[in-house]
Amino acid sequence: MAQAQDWGMGTVNAPFKTLHNEVYPAIEPTSVQLPQPFVVCIVGASRGIGAGIAYNYAKAGATGLVLASRRTSGLESTAAECKKLNPDLKIEIVSCDISSAESVAALADRTKSAFGGRLDVAAINSGYSGPMAGKLDQTDPATFQNAINVNYVGTFLCAKYLIPQLLATEGGAKAFVVTSSLATLIVRGPFANAQYSVSKAAQLKLLENVHEQYHEQGLNAFAIHPGGVKSEMAEESAPEFVQYLTDHPDLCGACAVWLTKDDQKRWLSGRLVSANWDVDELEALKEEIVKQDLYKLGMTGPW
């Protein structure tokens, strides 16, 4: 089996023996038949990982997609490919600035009106890295602020306006999914960029709060590390590292389908999982993960 890059993050992939770079049989979306109807809103769907999320839900038989991004031109091509994969799919394209409360509220209204209030999955993929600076005093303040606005505040806004629809959907999957990153765990090395790592860590802690506040109402909140994907954002922010980005952009989407296709993955709600990890090995660790409450941000100490 192909091995994923370690990214200089030490033992974050332990104890997984098998790491995947592309979609594999256990998470193949074409083997899934989602409940009908099944509506997914994907924020940040114009390219790369977000488009891959859309493709995988189309393959799995979703009946409705809301594709949102600031760049609607990219959404048109994502929608066209989804229609090829699933001709009966109803698709809404929405321009949305994730850092604007008014824009995200309008997205929620559009989603509600287009599909009669139904929403099974909200997948938040919009992200921002910006040029990587080695140290804080070399970091542009506007770039740092933009990372916070998109990665952290944007996720809050999506949670605020989309979670009520997830909870109100009778018999729905009630899944709030964010594209996270194992970079939340690092403070040194070439990928330890403060604006990205810190804002994504804040996003992950926010997701843990979402889990704690809404899990008893049936909501599942999943954070997925997509692997090292050669995305346009990566090429723009760290062109010197793109040679190491070898994971397929569809891998995250297939993992999202696997997590949300039924209610059997509730035990992973509130946790960060990597799309590179083998899901059979992950499920074999269920008892240990639940007992020790693993794969969440925390503080090390003698306790």
Residues designated as active site:
196, 200
Q: Map 15-39 to HEC letters.
A: CCCCECCCCCHHHCHHHCCCCCCCE
DSSP state of 244: G
Structural Rg of the chain based on CA atoms: 18
Q: Which of 142, 155, 61, 49 is nearest to 99 (CA)?
A: 155
Q: Which residue do the tokens 């306790």 mark?
A: 303
- How far, in Å, CA of 126 to CA of 183, rounded? 16
- How far, in Å, CA of 193 to CA of 199, rounded? 10
Yes or no: say if 15 and 185 are a contact pair by the CB < 8 Å rule.
Answer: no
Q: Which of 59, 64, 44, 60 is nearest to 123 (CA)?
A: 44
Q: Tokens for 85?
A: 């994969």
Q: Tokens for 67?
A: 């594709």
Q: Is 277 helix (H, G, I), strand (E, B) or coil?
A: strand
